[in-house]
Amino acid sequence: MGELLQRCILISLADGEARLCDHDRNRRDRGFSPRHPVRAARPDETDLQTGEGRKQTKRMSDTTKETLGFQAEVTQLLHLMAHSLYGSKEIFLRELVSNASDAGDKLRFEALADAALFEDDSDLKIRVSYDRQARTITVSDNGIGMSRQEVIEHIGTIAKSGTREFFQTLTADRAKDAHLIGQFGVGFYAAFIVSDRVTLLTRRAGLTGEHGVRWESTGEGDYTIETVRKDTRGTDVVLHLRPDEDDLLSGVRLQEILRKYSDHITVPILMKKEQWDAAAREQVVTAEDEQINQASALWARPKSEITEEQYHEFYKHVAHDFEPPLAYSHAKVEGRQEYTLLLFIPQQAPFDLWDREHRRGVKLYVRRVFIMDDAEHLMPPYLRFVRGVIDSNDLPLNVSREILQQSRDVQAIRAASVKRVLGLLEELAERDAGKYAAFWTQFGRVLKEGVVDDAANRDRIGKLLRFATTRHETKDQTVSLADYVGRMKDGQDAIYYITADGFAAARNSPHLEIFRKRGVEVLLMYDRVDEWVASALTEFEGRPLRSVAKGGLDLGKLGGGAEEGETPPADDQGALVERMQRALKDRAAAVRVTARLTDSPACLVSDEGGMSTNLERILKAAGQDVPTSRPVLEVNPRHPIVERLKDESDEDRFADWSHLLFDQATLAEGGQLEDPATFVKRLNEVMLTLAGGAKSRIWTPGG
Task: Give the pLDDT of residue 140.
Answer: 97
Segments of the chain scoring below 50 in pLDDT: 1-62, 159-163, 166-167, 174-185, 560-561, 564-565, 570, 696-703
Task: Give the pLDDT of residue 559.
Answer: 52
Task: Give the pLDDT of residue 689.
Answer: 77
Q: Confirm if 39 and 235 have CB atoms less than 8 A apart.
A: no
Task: Give the pLDDT of residue 337.
Answer: 87
Query: Beta 65-69 vs 222-228: how paired, if at all?
Result: antiparallel
Domain boundaries, the chain: 31-296, 309-452, 465-548, 574-672
Nearest 5°: phi and psi at 315? -60, -45
Residue (of 189, 191, 207, 1) closest to 116 by Cα position:
207
DSSP state for residue 702 in the 8-state scheme: T
Q: Looking at the domain 574-672, which fold is it?
A: Four Helix Bundle (Hemerythrin (Met), subunit A) (1.20.120)
Neighbouring residues of 338: CB distance < 8 A, sequence distance ≥ 6? 332, 392, 393, 394
Distance CA 428, CA 436 (A): 6
Residue (of 145, 152, 149) closest to 233 by Cα position:
145
Sheet architecture: strand order including 387-392: 327-333, 339-345, 387-392, 362-366, 369-372
Distance CA 38, CA 126 (A): 13
Task: Give the pLDDT of residue 236.
Answer: 97
Q: Confirm if 563 and 511 have CB atoms less than 8 A apart.
A: no
Helix (H, G, I), strand (E, B) or coil at 465: coil
Top CATH class of 31-296 equals: alpha beta
SS3 content of the chain, % helix, strand, coil (to 5): 45, 20, 40
Per DSSP, the chain holds a count of helices (H) and strands (E) of 24, 22
Task: Give the pLDDT of residue 354.
Answer: 75
Distance CA 496, CA 469 (A): 10
Task: Give the pLDDT of residue 471.
Answer: 93
Centroid of chain to Cα 137: 36
Neighbouring residues of 297: CB distance < 8 A, sequence distance ≥ 6? 264, 266, 365, 368, 391
Pick the CATH number of 309-452 from 3.40.640.10, 3.30.230.80, 1.20.970.10, 3.30.1490.20: 3.30.230.80
Distance CA 604, CA 584 (A): 13
Q: Confirm if 594 and 635 have CB atoms less than 8 A apart.
A: yes
* Residue 38 half-sphere exposure toward CB, CA atoms < 13 A: 32
Report the run of H or E that residue 270 belongs to, with start and end. Answer: strand 269-277
Task: Give the pLDDT of residue 260.
Answer: 84
What does each C-alpha distance from 65 to 59, 213, 497 come to in angstroms? 11, 10, 65
Centroid of chain to Cα 591: 43
Judge if 309-452 and 574-672 fold alike in CATH terms: no
Which residue intervals of 362-470 are DSSP H helices? 401-406, 408-431, 433-453, 458-464
Q: Confirm if 283 and 290 have CB atoms less than 8 A apart.
A: no
Listed in order, strand segments (DSSP E) in 590-635 are: 590-593, 602-605, 632-635
Other beta carbons less than 10 A from residue 666's beta carbon: 21
Residue (of 465, 93, 521) closest to 313 by Cα position:
93
Residue (of 552, 553, 494, 551) closest to 523 by Cα position:
494
Architecture per CATH, domain 465-548, reads as 3-Layer(aba) Sandwich (3.40)
